[in-house]
Amino acid sequence: MLTFDKRNARLWSIMGINPAIWSVAFSEVGEERDDTVVLTADLERYSGLQRTFQKWPERCFNVGIAEQNMVGIGAGLAMEGKQVWMTTYAPFMTFRCADHVRHLMGNLKLNMKAIGSAAGFSAGFSGASLLAVNDIALTRSIPNMVVLSPADTMEAVKMVIAMSKTDAPCYMRFCGTVNLPIVYTEDYEFEIGKGVELVSGEGIAIIATGTTIVSEALKTGKMIAAKEGFQPTIIDMHTIKPLDTQLIERLMERHDTIITLEEHSIIGGLGSAIAEFVTKKGWGGSLKMMGIEDKNYEMGTRNFMLDQAGLKAEKIVNRYYSEL
């Protein structure tokens, strides 16, 4: 039985999100379910899967640098009654495997879980081809897909356990590697499709998704509160699809402004999903979508690129006031 507390929150952050997913969360899942299998496309080491492969060698398969084949093999195993877990870098898991994910996971509704690591700006030093800044847009457009993005390592652990309890095809993406900012330090209720209200406020609602970004949203809220004298509401929208529309409706009732934050293109991501919903509802408030603009950026560390994209708290606040 896992303990969700401050000590483990720090430990999992230090060890890194990949090992936390596989050595901690999936270890729990694998003990509970003997129908799970794991596939990786030559990333056993870099995905933190070494202990998992050692523990369950008969349930783990490295298919080599053949991502599309991995999804095909996974579909065959799922058709034989297995719950299939697949992982590789996010741009390969989505765009390289787009047709396979669309048809085998989405259209056929197979019990397959795809985990895309190093999403967003994580692989900035490797060049634009390794950036995954459109993966939410792709996966949320596929029928039957669940699309997830944890706020920190503790939520990633909870997310993997929750994914194991649904037969729906799921795509989970995360950004960064080790020493990620901690959002949760104690146990809380996690449910796929239900956002978490981290801070209850008024006037402005900041809806964020993803590692580091939710942490920056909390900092942004404090900066605005210090300037305005009122506390904005802060939401961790860990599930982009199915979107928590009930929560958004409640926010629309008591807020004049909604700000969305994501380490993803402003086209097709969380902001777009919320824009589609509030427009359909005829909401008269102001929606500000902040994310990765539709352009190329100078390559560098993830921190450098987040700053360049204006996704650090100080720049988020400055942009908010400049657009009033």
Q: Which pLDDT tens digit goes with each residue over 134-190?
A: 999 999 999 999 999 999 999 999 999 999 999 999 999 999 999 999 999 999 999
Could you say which architecture CATH assigns to the domain 6-173?
A: 3-Layer(aba) Sandwich (3.40)
**Chain mean pLDDT for the chain:** 96
> What average pLDDT does the segment 187-203 reach?
97
Residue 288 banded pLDDT, cuts 50, 70, 90: very high
Number of H helices, E strands in the chain: 14, 12
Residue with tokens 């909604």, as numbered in its chain: 258
212: tokens are 């580091």
Residue 268 banded pLDDT, cuts 50, 70, 90: very high
Residue boundaries of the structural domains of the chain: 6-173, 196-322
Residue 280 banded pLDDT, cuts 50, 70, 90: very high
**pLDDT, position 44:** 86
Are 319 and 310 in contact by the 8 Å Cβ rule? The answer is yes
Does the structure show a pLDDT above 90 at 323?
Answer: no
**pLDDT, position 47:** 84
Q: Which three-class secondary structure state does DSSP give residue 31?
A: helix
> What average pLDDT does the segment 107-112 reach?
98
7: tokens are 């000590």
Closest C-alpha among 269, 271, 295 to residue 139? 269
Does the structure show a pLDDT above 80 at 324?
Answer: no
- In this chain, the answer to whether the domains covering 6-173 and 196-322 adopt an identical fold is yes
What fold, for 196-322? Rossmann fold (3.40.50)
Residue 91 banded pLDDT, cuts 50, 70, 90: very high
Pairing type for strands 60-62 and 112-117 reads unpaired
Q: What is the pLDDT of residues 6-43, one digit of tens each?
A: 999 999 999 999 999 999 999 999 999 999 999 999 98
302: tokens are 């993830």
Tell me the C-alpha distance between 162 and 89, whole Å. 21
**pLDDT, position 171:** 98
Residue 123 banded pLDDT, cuts 50, 70, 90: very high
Does the structure show a pLDDT above 90 at 244?
Answer: yes
Indicate the burial class of 230 (C-beta count within 10 angstroms; 0-12, 13-18, 19 or more).
Answer: exposed
> What average pLDDT does the segment 265-274 reach?
98
Q: How far is CA 28 from the centre of its chain?
A: 20
